[in-house]
Homo-oligomer: A and B are copies of this chain.
């Protein structure tokens, strides 16, 4: 025996929360564009001309994963990538017209989805929820990156 109740393990709960979120995202936001793809588009919207590495920093993805996600967005013609003339190592990212349109559309839907996702909680609980997750994640991140 000696089995454990996984519903007390935050890691297990985090995985289930993400599954639940993905399900809802597909149903209410988009079946084509995933949530990480949207996050990248959002970062480029906030700071057009960002390079891949910095985008990764903004949305919490490593270089390899950003490259994959960026590749998919380019294939869908939502994103453009040009060499930085100032620094030949970098690629500068920018949304296409269609990319900007798509981002705007998904932003509206994502807001609605977030409301549905958090609906089971009261108003103060919702703020608390976001705050608690953020504190735990940030603490763990600085734990790895010894400032």
> Interface size class for chain A?
35 or more
- Partner of A13 from the list B9, B120, B134 (CB cut-off 8 Å) is B134
Check: A35 CB closer than 8 A to any chain B CB: yes
Q: Which residues of B are found within 8 Å of A135, using beta-carbon distances?
A: 120-121
Complex interface residues of chain A between 1 and 36 (CB less than 8 A to chain B):
1-4, 6-25, 27, 35-36
Check: A92 CB closer than 8 A to any chain B CB: no
Q: Which residue, A1, A4, A20, A117, has most C-beta atoms of chain B within 10 A? A: A20
Check: A59 CB closer than 8 A to any chain B CB: yes
Copies in the complex: 2
Check: A87 CB closer than 8 A to any chain B CB: no
Among A39-47, A67-75, A78-86, which stretch is in contact with chain B? A39-47
The answer to whether A136 and B110 have CB atoms under 8 Å apart is: no
Check: A147 CB closer than 8 A to any chain B CB: no
Q: Which residues of B are found within 8 Å of A20, using beta-carbon distances?
A: 136-137, 139-141
The answer to whether B107 and A8 have CB atoms under 8 Å apart is: no
Q: Which residues of B are found within 8 Å of A117, using beta-carbon distances?
A: 10-11, 136, 140
A interface residues, Cβ below 8 angstroms from B? 1-4, 6-25, 27, 35-36, 39, 42-43, 45-46, 59-60, 103-104, 107, 110, 114, 116-121, 125, 128-130, 132-141, 143-144
